[in-house]
Structure 1
């Protein structure tokens, strides 16, 4: 019987480094990976036949064969051994078939099985859909090195003729990520999709990008169920609920918040150049935003900043931290940046028949001449932010329900 071993993970296999002499690491059930002094990694099958330990049977190069596929082959060879049959001839035939891994279709399967293993179900689904629907039918049987920028352009043009420029750009990006993976795995030397400029496929005015209700729900549900640090999850959620600029939230201090009155007052000195001529900006806080802030307050690591740097010095996280956190999630939300949350909120409120004037003053104290008008304006602004928070909650719940249904 093969010796029991702790199963490997793809990340552990990728992390194996060469040594002065080659060595093997067991995955279990006879499967081992041999790391050569050159850095190459070869899957092998260890077995005993007729009571004698046999030489290792070669399964194939790790660059060509994912952990999942290697396990399946080891299981097949173990079944042969159980019948008293040597798996060597079968393994040799399999290795001949593996030469097909130099075609894009096989490489794409390797990419889906390994690089996307830690991504969300939705991300894997949309990636596979783009490959299966448009990429692989057109160029799946081409050798990896033979795929050209002209091939990518032709695929994108066909998608655009269907009236789907966003999907064309998404498909180009899928191929670009696939080839970046193949280059890292030394299966390709150039990236044909990278040569094709995004603007040649589809152009979008980033100042008009608005997320749909479903995209809002999927985005926040993905953030909430990810493994990024909890304070960053809360920061991203607060960006949505408060309609604040990223820089305003990142630099926010506890002294600016009055949770009893549900108000966040951003000093005029912290506003951008266009707004510094105005008074302090007052953000009215919804029930949901207050709940997130109270959680932050309970567990706060700084008496000064809401989101202090993890380095321990008294300063906030870097401006790029939230962008990096979102990028690491691999969200399948096309042409999206964090600033789009503000525009999205304003658009959805407008579609809910809220007054345009109130939308324009959501972030600031109305310059009302009479105290009663100022009070009424504050009430309207608070109502707007609460309506928005309730809408966001409903979209998150819909995304959560859809995820449970797909599980």
Structure 2
């Protein structure tokens, strides 16, 4: 009958001294501690499968791997041996998993995400991954990334003066891990547990939605249970670049769908100047649907309360947005105008035409031009902006 090994203790292990040759001390059940001539100590597992001794498997160094952890690994492998299965396969799978790094997965994910997307979207997403994510997290196994790692990355980005990019990076990682979980190569989303407010805060007067956030907002709108006319209103607000009250109090007599124009009278404009909105293909489609919903009302967005023909309250759209569970922090509806201006300037469109589209006054000699001077440019701008927003949705 084989002699039973006396279980090891941390005190016994620490007392083991190196010799000229390496030697092994058994803990029982196949678990042994190998003491090297250098003094280092390594856990190994010896086992027999189908009556034949098998090559020893390495668990790892002591004290990095504690006695308790080594025993736990031994017990896991012993269960496989008892079933007639080799632990070697589990070791290979673990190594493969370890080599499934953030960098390798991100490259695969990018190929999926970029196909068929706009150039702006491709450029932004690629920049986030290669400039920020991979240098910081790229070498880590996908499953090993913790919320603290994501927060550390976002803090680095904030410290260089880019809070908006920090928030965008967190959102990109959240989407990537959702993708990984759906494909069963990750179990937890380290970015999802970090509220956006922990990453960055921005004052509303300087808030510009990123391309990703534009999509987040409007997808959230359409997936919500708010009334259909309010969904169309929020979409129109995003792509027409008008102020909220200019939209909510709009009358059908101002809109010419065949000509693709919406003329807002001076009395409803902030600066008491009439303003023409050139309608994109998307805007005309939304208004056509809206016309079928509003029936006999003279307003685009009639109040559902009472019998009097009057528009919805100015706070209705704000309340609708507040009722949504949007993963976009510090956003108010007026940010749509600033967002449109910022992205259109980045696309290289005429600054004067953008200002006219926003009904801003152009100072200097250019300001004497009438509203028709920029008509063709503004038509192009409105269609380009609606297309850009569609890409994000």
Greater Cα radius of gyration, structure 1 or 2:
2
Give the TM-score normalised by structure 2.
Answer: 0.48
Give the TM-score normalised by structure 1.
Answer: 0.46
